[in-house]
Amino acid sequence: MRSLFFAVMVAVLGTAIAAQSTPPRPPASPAPPRAGTGPDPREETARRVCGVCHPFEYVIAVKRTRAQWEATVENMVGRGARGTNAELTAVIDYLAESHVLTPSNVRGGAGPADKPMVDPKASEAARPLYTKNCLTCHGADARGTPQGLNLVRSIVVLHDRYGSTLGPFLRASHPPVPGPGGSTMPQPFEGLTSQEVLLLSHFLRDRVNDTLRGAPMFKPGNVLVGDAKAGAEYFQGEGGCTQCHSPTADLAGIGRRLEPINLQQRFLFPHTARRTGPGAKVVTVTVTTESGETHSGVLRSDLSDAVVLVSGAGAEIRILRREIMDMQPGAVSVMPPGLAEQLSRQELADLLAFLKATRSGAN
Domain regions of the chain by residue span? 41-98, 120-210, 222-266+336-363, 271-334
Q: Look at residue 268 and tell me whether its pLDDT is greater than 80.
A: no
Superfamily of domain covering 120-210: Cytochrome c-like domain (1.10.760.10)
Residue 333's pLDDT band, with cuts at 50, 70 and 90, is very low
Q: Is the pLDDT of residue 329 over 50?
A: yes
**Residues near 8 by beta carbon (within 8 Å), at least 6 away in sequence:** none
Residues in a beta bridge with 309: 299, 317
Residue 208: count of CB within 10 angstroms of its CB: 21
In CATH, the number for domain 41-98 is: 1.10.760.10
Angle ∠(15,21,22) on CA atoms, nearest 5:
90
Q: Which amino acid is residue 317, in one-letter code?
A: I
CB 352 within 8 Å of CB 251 = no
Higher pLDDT, 55 or 108: 55
3-state secondary structure of 280: coil
Residue-wise pLDDT tens digits, 61-109: 888 888 888 888 887 888 788 889 899 999 999 998 888 877 655 555 4
Fold of 271-334: SH3 type barrels. (2.30.30)
Distances (CA, A) of 94 to 66, 162, 183: 10, 21, 48
Buried-exposed string 156-187: b where 16+ CB fall within 10 A, e elsewhere: bbbbbbbbebbbebbeeebeebeeeeeeeeee
Query: Which pLDDT score is estimated for 110?
Result: 45
Distance between CA atoms of 252 and 146, rounded to whole angstroms? 33
Dihedral angle computed from the Cα positions of residues 300, 303, 305 and 306, in that order, rounded to the nearest 10 degrees: 10
Would you mind telling me the total number of residues written for the chain in this entry?
363
Which residues fall within 8 angstroms of residue 60, CB to CB, at 6 or more apart? 95, 98, 99
- Which carries the bigger pLDDT value, residue 269 or residue 357? 357
Mean pLDDT across the chain:
76
Helix, strand, coil tally for the chain in percent (to 5)? 45, 10, 45
| Geometric angle at alpha carbon 338, from 337 and 344, rounded to 5° | 130
Strand, helix or coil at 3? Answer: helix
**Residue 208 · residue 304 · CB < 8 Å:** no
| Side chain identity at residue 355, one-letter code | L
Same fold yes or no, 41-98 and 120-210: yes
**Is the CB of residue 108 less than 8 Å from the CB of residue 116?**
yes
pLDDT band for position 25 (50/70/90)?
very low
